[in-house]
Chain A
């Protein structure tokens, strides 16, 4: 699975658990807070779920704002 597909899948799972529909067309420019509507608990869930799959804590090197930045973090390490 590509990194962006992995992030999109986890992001939509988090939305689903909140009773929200999947976000259409998640791309690198998608904003985690402003577009996906993620609050701090959602962001923490995102990083914990991705860490269990990739071994990378996305926020350890600072907070990021977009899906593309998340992809960069999990692809680099």
Chain B
């Protein structure tokens, strides 16, 4: 059987490694500096070309709105920045593709991440750094990975790397509903999943166990024992891994359950101070100039509960960032407030979150506004923000409370 590279749930789309290699060999290809495509295949093909040719590319979410893009990339010429590229030597077969990809450590990949500055910021990683957490083994050739993360986010890119550097199959389930995901896991005989706790929670309630799943990884949000227990019932044959990763650093720590330890070699680069996790600058990607590290240590903003000091072991608590975690997606409240205040009739906006058991947090806002048609406002927001950033509940108020320093009170 020909090895499958990428497929979707209904088998309506299936691309083998042989077809991928034929496409790569065909060239010349237009390789944009900024990858902005709703086709998962196109995104992955561009990534593979960038890897093989050791180029620098930047991945953009396909649902970024035009106004988000114009804030992130004010010079519109980014759309035309593209090069005609061709492989020097055609690739003979999958073994050679894997060999060439594994040797391609000089490529650089840029990602955008929400911080708390009002605009998503760019972080660039050397491929070699991202490859450090990839496991290589011949047995992985038969693995079938569910792509549950956005492929243009670092977590999705790590799944892509793990799969493609081993010749494994990728099954795209990103953004799909419960019924479709469950059908895909069974129909495509998925063996490995990496996703947020929210993704797994949305697979519940349990219909029937899925014994074909061998490996289940969690990341992006705090994991609790209750969900882990339910997942042991849903995936009775799986090994579980809890991953701590940041867009700014890639995968940093891996644990069996809730409690993280520090793997050998990283002891001097991870520390806990005042209940907060700090990472050494050596672990971090290259940040844009405005957000360069001032010191050797990066404050992650992640609160932890110490289990033991030596060796260092801890549990991750809910985060206390300025940004809000909606089901594993970071939302910067000041970015949303700026979009709201740009709407005619809105004089002030305060964005905050309400906790819930499904997505962790939900975006809400208070508005000081007059003469607003809420439906028109929602349509405007749909054109200006990714959907998970848009306030779901809007309250109208006369004025806001402020903190003593004059900042808006968010809680």
Contact = CB atoms under 8 A, between A and B. Distances in A.
Contacts of A62: 204-205, 230
Given A62-B205, A64-B205, A45 B393 contact: yes
B183 interface: no
B293 interface: no
B308 interface: no
A10 B125 CA distance: 45
Contacts of B388: 41
A33 B204 contact: no
A65 interface: yes
Interface string B166-205: 0000000000011100000000000000000010011011
Interface string B313-348: 000000000000011000000000000000000000
A49 B358 CA distance: 13
Interface string B362-390: 10100000000011001100000001100
Given A33-B177, A62-B204, A48 B357 contact: no
A63 interface: yes
A41 B379 contact: no
Dominant secondary structure at the B interface: mixed
A63 B207 CA distance: 12
Interface residues of A, number: 23
A40 B375 CA distance: 21
Contact of A40 (B202, B230, B364, B393): B202
A26 to B, nearest CB: 19
Contacts of B362: 41, 44-45, 48
Contact of B198 (A19, A40, A64): A40
B204 A63 contact: yes
Contacts of A57: 356-357
A54 to B, nearest CB: 13
| Interface core residue of B177, B327, B358, B393 (most chain A CB under 10 Å) | B358
A17 B378 contact: yes
Interface in A3-62: 16-17, 19, 33-34, 39-41, 43-45, 47-49, 51, 57-60, 62
B88 to A, nearest CB: 45
B354 interface: yes
